[in-house]
Each structure stands twice: as C-alpha cells, then as structure tokens.
Amino acid sequence: MRFLPLVLANLGRHKRRTVLTIISVALALFLFASLRSVVTTLNSGAEVSSASRMVVQNASAIVFTLPQSYANRLKAVPHVKAVTWANWFGGKYGDGRKFFATFAIDPESYVAMYPEIAVPDSQKEAFFHERTSAIAGEGLMKTFGWKLGQNVTFQGTIFPGDWTFTIRGVYHPTTKAIGDDSFMFRYDYLYEKYPAQVTPGWFILQIDDPSAAPQVAKAIDDQFRNSPAPTKTGTEAAFTQGFATMWGNVSLLMNTIGMAVVFAILLVTANAMMMSQRERTSEVAVLKTVGFSNVMIFSLVIIEAAVISLVGAALGLLTAALLPKLAGFDTGGFLPGFHVTAGTAVIGAGVALLLTVASGLVPALGAARLPVVQALRRVE
Amino acid sequence: MKIPFVYNVRSVLQRPVSTALTALGIGLVVAVFVAMLALANGFAMALVGTGSADNVIVLRRGADNELSSGIGRDAISIISSFPHVALAADGHPLVSPETYVVINVPRVGADTLAIANVVARGVSDRAFEVRRNIVVTEGRRFQSGKSEICVGQKLVGRFQNTAVGQTMRFAGRDWTVVCHFTAAGSSFESEIWGENEQFQGVFRGNVFQSLTFRLKDPKGFAEARRALQDDQRIQVDAHEERAFYADQSQLLGSILRFLAVMVTSIMAVGAVFGAVNTMYAAVSSRTPEIAVLLTLGFQPRSVLVSFLAESAVIALIGGVIGCLLALPMNGVVTSTTNWASFSELAFAFQVTPQLLLEGLIFSIVMGVVGGFFPARRASKMPVVQALR
C-alpha cells in the first residue's frame, strides 16, 4: 500500500485515457448487470412461489377453463388444506397501450392464500363486501394516477363490454419478485355478467406438506383424467417457470450479449494498459535499477489495472442498481419487480476481477521481465 | 496536397496488437448491432408476412386478437354472402371461417416443464386458396371429416410426434399428421392446422373465432369494412389481414429494437473510447513524424484527414470482422411467445445486406468520432517543439 501514490500518479499521467477506460468499464458493467437482471427477473417467478402452493389448470391448454364443481372435489383430496381460484380477464384501460395483468379472484380465499400481497385490513373488508370493488397494485395506481375509491372503466376483450370497478384496496407486494402492477377484482362480479361462460381459469391449492406435492398432483390428475376437462397439476414454481420459458431463448440472448459486451470492453482496457506500459518502458527500467524487484513491478501494474477495473465496475453496478428507480424506468409491464439482485452484483465483481487479470497480466509480465540494460539504452 | 493513404495503412500495420484489439472491440459492437437487429427483423417479418394485402380478417367487435374473439355460424353465412367477397373459380366465396385455440404440446426431448403453447387453427378447405403463401411440402392436405392435421414446418423436429404419419394427441383425441406446410416464413409455420368442423367439436363448441376472406376489389377494404360494421345483424370488426398480424409484432418488435439500439449505443461509447485511446497513443508516438510532414508543407487539414482516415480504416476492419461474426446467425431459427395469442412463434434471424451495410457505416462512424480529437491534435501540433 506504500506504493499506492505511485500507482495513482501513473494513472494520473494520462488522465484522459484513465477516465475514458474507467467509463468504458463502467458502461460494460452497467449493461452486463442490466441484461442479467432481465434474466433474473424473468426467473424470479419461481422464487415467489411458495412450496406449499400448487396450481391446477386445464390439461388441454391454458385458455381452457375448469368447472366450478372441481373446487369441492379438490378440497377433498388428502393434504389439500385450502382451495381458491382465479380467472384471466384481459381488459384494456384507456387506449390499451399499457399492458398489465387483470384477474378475477375469489376474494376471501385468494387473499388468504397469498399473504405476499399485502392489503390493509380495512381495505380488505371493503373489498370483501362490495361486489364491484377491486384491488390494484401500488405501481399501477401511480402509473394511471388512480385514487382509492375511484371508479375505473375497462373494456373487456375476452368478456366484451364496459366494466366499471371501484378501487377499494391498494396492495403492496412484500417480496420484490411479485409485481406491483396487477389488478384484481371479484370473481362473482365476472360470473354475474357472464354466468354461462365464466368458470375458473385455474385453481390454487394450499397443501399441508410440500413433500406430498407429487402425490397430490397424481391423485388430482388421475381423478379427472376421463372427465370432459382433464387437469394438469403442478407446483406453483413449475407453473410460473412455464411462463418464464415462454420467453424462449431470451435468457440465452441476454447472456450472450452480456458476454460480448464484457469481452469488447476487455479489449479496450487491455489495449489501454498495454499502451501505458509501452510508454513507460524506460521508467520501469529506472525503477528496477533503483532496486524494485520483479514481483514489485508486476504487482504495481496489476494494481493499476485493478484500480481501473474496480472503480469502473463499482460505478457501473451502482448505476445499474439505482438508475431504474431514479429515472422511474418502466419495463412496459413486462418485467414486474425489475431489480439488480445481490447475485448479479457478486458476478459483476467477479467480472471486474477477471478484467483486472486479463488486462493487466500481459503488460505486467512484460514489465517484470524487462531486461534493464536494453531498456535503459533506449533512454537518451 | 493529400498525404498518401498508404502512409496510414503502413502505420496501422506498425502497431498490429493495438490495432487488432481496437478493431476487435469495434467488431464486437457491430456484431451485436447486426445480430440484434436481425432478430428484430426476423420477428417482424414473421408476423408482417403472415397476412396478405387483399385479405380481410373479421373478428367479434372489441376483440383485439383471435383468441378472445367469437363469431357464430349465422354471422359467418351472412358475411360469406357479402358482395365484397371474391369468388373462387367454382363460384363459391373465398372465405375461411376458422377456429383458433392454443394447446399444450411437448417439445422434443424435454421434461414435462418444456411444454409450449401452440396455435391449433381449424380452417376450411378454402383456407389454402384464401392464403396464397401456403405450400404443402410433404404429404397431402387433411381430408374433410377425418381426424387429420397438417403441421407447420417450423414445428417439425422441435415438437414431439410431428413427422408425417405420426399421431399427436390433444383435446382427448388422436390426430394423424398428414402433411407439413410452409407459409413463406410467416407465423402460420408455427401452427397446427386441421379442419374447422373437427376442431370445433372438441374445443370451443359451435362458434368460430375469425373469418378471413379475399377481397373482390383489392382496394375495396374501406368499403367492405363499412358495410360489415353497418350491418345490424352482426357485431363484428374487420381488419386488413396484413395490418392485423403486423400489429401483433409491434410490442415485442419495438422492445427488441429498443434493446438493440440501447445496448449497442452504450457499447459503442465504450468502443469509441477505445479508438480515442488508440489514436491518441498513435499520435503521440509519431510526434516527430507528424512534425516532419508539416515541415514538408502538408497542410494541417491534410494531417487531420489523414488521421481520421487511419481511424476509419481501423474501425472498418472491425466492422468487417463484426459482419463476419454476425453472418452465421442468418437463418438460425429461434422462438419466443407471441404475446397477443400467448402462443409459440418460431422465426429466423434475418441478416440482410442492408443491415450489413448499416453495420459497416456504424463502424466507420465510430472510427471517425473516436479519431477526431486525436487527429485534431496532430494537425495543430506546434512544429518546432515537436521536431525538437
């Protein structure tokens, strides 16, 4: 650490080059962290899911519904403690440009099933007692500037017509992986308007023992195998994972781009380090002459590379973590709960170390192995 | 007088490592740029190419996609008798009332998790005439009244039991695959087609989701639309088929394009910084040379141009490398979900010559921007000091 001033002085010699290189590294890490966060956010659905929740859907396809009568039969299956159901509504609000999830839910049982969706008790009561009431995520409230108690009108796409809801509750997700921009209203309101068509889209079960999940799934699917609506039962994690895989190769794409970015910047940094060392050949010779050991010279160069990489990486990662909040960046409703995870930050730090080694190694070795006499001869 | 270009080329070759690193950095940016736009292109092309300009798709009023639509049999016959509908050679109207559902199909070699949503479209026999781009590549069309299906080419090999002669099971019935078809790369190639009367029975009951018809007068869309919407017996919306499918690509297409531009412009800044560093180093290591050039009577402007050209050459080398890196992506099939219908949509990366050209121009711009300040310093060098 005694030599830190020397390293800093070296960095300060070409201030412009140092600053540009640091910014390059920062940009690379910013991109890397942002792209990776897209992937982690997509996969975060599986984290939210509770191991004790299972989802029952129609085996044919997600667009098909299940008979209401299944609710009681599901309740009778061993290990099942509670049952609730929901239906995808697919409405449009305003010009329909902003996409958000709208569900019809069975009020009491659904709210009890999802403690992660926190609603104040008084608002919960209001929601339970008014047929046209709804609860919305706090993010959604902000996006549209809605207020508690306001009436909002949606255009139904699957269930045609104008639907007016009164917002009686605002929920706050207790975990980041749940989006704060969903809209939920009462299933009985939907049923009242379309009694002939509305049946639950999927059932959610609470089981008493997570390890019994495979048996429960088998018991349910066997029971309904030969009915008009055969079921597909799985853990909630598998259900949300199914949505994540619908993005196809997005994860691969993001990771590939992330790698390309890091590699491109590695070239820039390595080049800058090499240029610096080439210009300093004679100085290194002088340092060696006055008694600096090869190891010492080697570490000086590596430390210089480390300062550039680490400062750049810290800047980039901080920006990636803070920018979405500061700029109010909105992912168009597609990535609820977008944030940089601790894992991403750790990997980012690893990338910075890798950059240090990869960009500093060649110049550092060159400097350490520099033959003093020859190098000095070049000094006029 | 101009400084000969060969001077720059030789100077570049003098510093092979530095040049190569800078060029590679720029090359990667160009490669990502081209590849991402090729992805966005391919995605948009798949949906834009799905519709024909003179076809009209009719949905229930208010429905914004086929999945949420529903049209009764009575409405189908009313629309089929409209004077705006083109007639086939045998005098029957060129209409295809269609059922549209999304079913779960397991992928090849995968566990239970990897089940994708695939569109199953029930079509009438006329559908192959209404949609000109459908070509049966293997086997024969399904026969009316039989449990037979045709599978889009892009599903073949990626999903289980899709070969001709094999049997797929869905909706509680077995279906024999009798043909494969292509549709000029459009999203139809990611669908399973069967007879509408067969699909209706097993899926959604006695209702169709959409009706597609050929216009008698290719320019008569506005008129046909008005006539359909004014008819009090039916509650429908008419859309130009091409615009309808192109709209479905808009959301994801614009996300992809936004991503491409954002990612590459941030990367470009880094690469330009690399070029700046390289060129400054080049200028300072050649201080005496530049002074000699200026002493010989070369104008400062020529020196500026010369160094800009040098930077542009390095960048162009990078651009070529980048294009070569991105080229193998052409035609690679990938898939994502068409969020308008929650269904699998396969499409190919499309690296077009125009895209490559844009990549090369992009690289030169990076080179010129990165080289400008170093070149200016070279041109403004105080000769006397530099020669010392």
Exposure of A262 by Cβ count < 10 A (0-12 exposed, 13-18 middle, 19+ buried)?
Answer: buried
CA B37 to chain centre: 8
Q: Which of A64, A246, A270 sits opposite B21 (nearest CB)?
A: A270
- Which single residue is written with the structure tokens 């614009």? B254
User: What is chain A's mean pLDDT, rounded?
Assistant: 83
Low-confidence ranges of chain B (pLDDT < 50): 112
| Predicted pLDDT of residue A246 | 63
The secondary structure of A226-238 as a DSSP string is TSSS-EEEEEHHH
Interface touch A61/B274, C-beta < 8 Å: no
| Predicted pLDDT of residue B249 | 77
ipTM reported for the complex surpasses 0.85: no
| Predicted pLDDT of residue A47 | 61
Interface probe for A, chosen from B267, B314, B347 (most Cβ of A below 10 Å), is B267
Query: When comparing pLDDT for A254 and A27, which is higher?
Result: A27
Write the single-letter amino acid at A108: E
Per-residue pLDDT band at A237 (split at 50, 70, 90): confident
Write the single-letter amino acid at A376: L
How near does any CA of chain A get to the CA of B202, in Å?
10
Question: Residue A262 above 80 pLDDT?
Answer: yes
| Predicted pLDDT of residue A168 | 92
- Spatial contact of B192 and B118, defined as CB atoms under 8 Å apart: yes
Distances (CA, A) of B295 to A141, A318, B280, B287, B302: 70, 50, 21, 12, 13
- CA B341/CA B288 separation, integer angstroms: 67
Q: SS3 for B48?
A: helix
- Tokens linked to A1: 């650490």
Query: When comparing pLDDT for A1 and B386, which is higher?
Result: B386
Farthest-apart Cα atoms in chain A, separation? 96
CB atoms within 10 A of CB A92: 17
- CA B196/CA B128 separation, integer angstroms: 13
Question: Residue A380 above 50 pLDDT?
Answer: no
In the beta sheet, which residues pair with residue A262? Answer: none
**pLDDT tens digits, one per residue of A330-345:** 554 455 567 778 888 8
CB atoms within 10 A of CB B151: 30
Interface touch A248/B337, C-beta < 8 Å: yes
| Predicted pLDDT of residue B323 | 94
- The answer, for B61 touching chain A at a CB cutoff of 8 Å, is yes
- CA A60/CA B362 separation, integer angstroms: 48
Interface probe for A, chosen from B14, B15, B24, B28 (most Cβ of A below 10 Å), is B28
- The answer, for B287 touching chain A at a CB cutoff of 8 Å, is no
- CA B114/CA B361 separation, integer angstroms: 41
Interface touch A61/B29, C-beta < 8 Å: no
| Arithmetic mean of pLDDT, A71-87 | 90
- B376 vs A contacts (CB less than 8 Å): none
- CA B234/CA B249 separation, integer angstroms: 29
B95-106 and B115-123: which strand pairing? Answer: antiparallel
Interface touch A61/B116, C-beta < 8 Å: no
- The answer, for B64 touching chain A at a CB cutoff of 8 Å, is yes
- CA A259/CA A240 separation, integer angstroms: 27
H and E: helices and strands count for chain B: 11, 12
- A27 vs B contacts (CB less than 8 Å): 266-267, 269-270
| Predicted pLDDT of residue B47 | 82
**pLDDT tens digits, one per residue of B187-208:** 888 899 999 888 887 776 778 8
- B114 vs A contacts (CB less than 8 Å): 245
pTM summary value: 0.77
- Tokens linked to A70: 């299944």
The pair phi, psi for residue A151, each rounded to 5°, is -95, 130
| Predicted pLDDT of residue B50 | 81
- CA A95/CA B64 separation, integer angstroms: 12
- A264 vs B contacts (CB less than 8 Å): 24-25, 28-29, 267, 270-271
Distances (CA, A) of B253 to A176, B40, B118, B246, B259: 27, 6, 20, 10, 10
| Predicted pLDDT of residue B369 | 92
- Tokens linked to A57: 């859907």
